[in-house]
Amino acid sequence: MTIEFAHPPVPRRALVAGGAGFLGSHLCDALLAQGCEVICLDSFVTGDAANVAPLANHPGFTLVEADVREPVRIEGPLDRIYNLACAASPRHYQADPLHTMMTCVHGAVHLLELAEAKGARFLQASTSEVYGDPEQHPQAESYLGHVNCTGPRACYDEGKRAAETICFDLARQGRADVRVARIFNTYGPRMRRDDGRIVSNLVVQALAGRPLTVHGDGTQTRSFCFVADLVAGLQALMEADPAPTTPVNLGNPEEYTILALAEIVRRLTGSGSDLAFHPLPTDDPRRRRPDIGQARQLLGWAPSTPLEAGLAATIEHFRLAAPAPRPRAVP
């Protein structure tokens, strides 16, 4: 079922921390298209300047290179702050776990301090990872989660949990108007080729005719949301009035096994790639599917892009961005 999304009123000046990343850059595009002035802040650890390069000459767009682990200073008024600043794929967030944890914790503190100083609304990008390897299915916001706090995913899971704590502590103190989005697996154009996540890996591998890497036996599940739907959900949450008093799940509740996803990617790309099975990473969640009842009820939001349509756009992106084939050696 498709629910029409009512466009929110337009804010005037927004800061998007992590704005050169996959999600952040699509959010910058959407805000600018709606007439909002956008300050995009990124440390470029995983963000990519190419994602926002087409915006460079837009009169409403400013790019600031800064790291949210340090206090953030922005001149002039702000009425919205989106905190999307953190590596989000397991490969990247585990590469420097302390950096990840500090980005989550100090980033939330510094940006909330800025929100307090400017009187801006604040949205924290949290994650389905706060549910860990869930024992409740599908996952509703009321589920308290099943996270291994000493495992390799903990730097991200616990970092995001701490960021949520900080948000609601400051909200209870009346210091900030906060909203927390628990974002489930999201895919689309501008995912990094080396992101390491399942959709980008499968598409890049299929287009190159390489084996499709499947962890474990491929029966684990995920639910995949197209980036444009997710960005609309973030904006709907930001503009909701009054703010929901709990975090809100944003994602697509259609659930697929990894094997089923690999089959769809193989069919859509016309690839003859075989499957290559690899060990399941430590603490890899067995099942994941959002309960989006709250988002439907409080925001009037639900995703509308079917998986195959979203994958087609993603495949097109990687086809166009494909590295040029190596010239054949002349015998």
Chain residues in the site for ligand UDP (CB under 6 A) = 89-90, 185, 197-198, 201, 213-215, 220, 222, 258, 281, 284
Tokens of 142: 């009321």
- Report the nearest approach of ligand UDP to the CB of residue 212 (Å): 8
Of residues 39 and 206, the one with the C-beta less far from ligand UDP: 206
Question: How far is residue 290 CA from its own chain's centroid?
Answer: 14
Q: Which of 173, 180, 40, 37 is nearest to 116 (CA)?
A: 173
- Report the nearest approach of ligand UDP to the CB of residue 161 (Å): 15
Active site residue 156: yes
Of residues 161 and 222, the one with the C-beta less far from ligand UDP: 222
Specify the DSSP element, H or E, that contains 226: strand 225-226
Of residues 244 and 247, the one with the C-beta less far from ligand UDP: 247
Q: Alpha-carbon distance 130 to 217, whole Å?
A: 24
Sign of CA dihedral 56, 305, 234, 187: negative
Of residues 202 and 238, the one with the C-beta less far from ligand UDP: 202
- Report the nearest approach of ligand UDP to the CB of residue 281 (Å): 5
CB atoms inside a 10 Å sphere around CB 133: 18
Of residues 214 and 228, the one with the C-beta less far from ligand UDP: 214
DSSP state of 72: -
- Report the nearest approach of ligand UDP to the CB of residue 18 (Å): 17
- The active-site residue, picked from 82, 93, 131, 156, is 156
Cα–Cα distances (Å) from 51 to 91, 100, 188, 192, 305, in that order, read 20, 22, 13, 10, 22
- Report the nearest approach of ligand UDP to the CB of residue 288 (Å): 6
Specify the DSSP element, H or E, that contains 22: helix 22-33
**Which residues are known catalytic residues?**
156
